[in-house]
Amino acid sequence: MEAEIPLTADTFRALARSSPWRFSALHLTWRTRDDGDVECWLRRPGWLRVRGADGDRVIRGDAATVDPEPVLRADGLVETRPRAYTHDIGDPMWNNYLFVSMLDPEELSVDVALSDLRSEPRAGRETWWARAVPEDGYEPRCGCCPLLWSRVTDWFEYGDGAPGWEPPAGTVYPEAYDIALDVATGIVVQLSPVGGSRPDHGFETTIHEAELSVVSV
């Protein structure tokens, strides 16, 4: 049984890197403002069933394996790993890559300032919370649908990093995000922008059942 891991900025980042190696199957409900409640069954590698208002849909991913293996820390969390988009690491996409990043939030582990860390149960599950601010260099899985939408992500995605680029008139970026990671699985179970002009960017995830992987420590 995995020993209790103390919550620090370092362990929060390590947990954000760890999802692909912490569980093999998941039953969840994903709630967004645009889509409402969507029930999902995920089995790694590469199989997803989604049940929404228009019925069931099965999606199969391209990745056949989780490869290569990461370097684990003594506490069982991931110390180093390749970026998902450079190797066969990834879950099937539903709607956009925000869904994939919810399941594997590695982008939170680098160039993100963390504060207000706390461990507080959510829906009866151990959950780590933090206030997150993307910094220069923050690199999401997909620039058009990052977990932490910000001037940094828009500048690279739409401004090509050019000096003097400005976002469209009326754009107000969040000052931060309140984000929660489920400790057992490493997925994002809550994302809430603090301020900004896109309150629809937040979401909630409820885990009904998870088949956990065996972690060597």
**Which residue ranges form the domains of the chain, and what is each CATH number?**
9-210 (2.50.20)
- How far apart, in whole angstroms, are the C-alpha atoms of residue 70 and residue 82? 8
Residue 39 near residue 59 (C-beta atoms within 8 A): no
Indicate the helix (H) or strand (E) that contains 59. Answer: strand 55-60
Per residue in 58-108, pLDDT tens?
999 865 455 678 999 999 999 999 887 677 678 999 989 999 999 999 999
Residue 104 tokens, joined? 């594997």
In a 10 Å sphere around its CB, with 0-12 CB exposed, 13-18 middle and 19+ buried, how is residue 185 labelled?
buried
Phi, psi of 12 (to 5 degrees): -60, -45
Residue 108 near residue 119 (C-beta atoms within 8 A): no
In a 10 Å sphere around its CB, with 0-12 CB exposed, 13-18 middle and 19+ buried, how is residue 180 labelled?
buried
Strand partners, 128: 119, 181
Per residue in 154-187, pLDDT tens?
999 999 888 889 999 999 999 999 999 999 999 9
- How far apart, in whole angstroms, are the C-alpha atoms of residue 201 and residue 101? 13
What are the C-alpha distances in Å from 110 to residues 114, 140, 153, 209? 10, 10, 14, 29
Residue 124 has pLDDT above 80, yes or no: yes
Residue 55 has pLDDT above 90, yes or no: no
pLDDT at position 62: 65
Task: Give SS3 for 67.
Answer: strand
Indicate the helix (H) or strand (E) that contains 157. Answer: helix 151-158
Residue 185 near residue 26 (C-beta atoms within 8 A): yes
pLDDT at position 4: 85
Find the length of the chain: 217
Average pLDDT (195-203) is 88
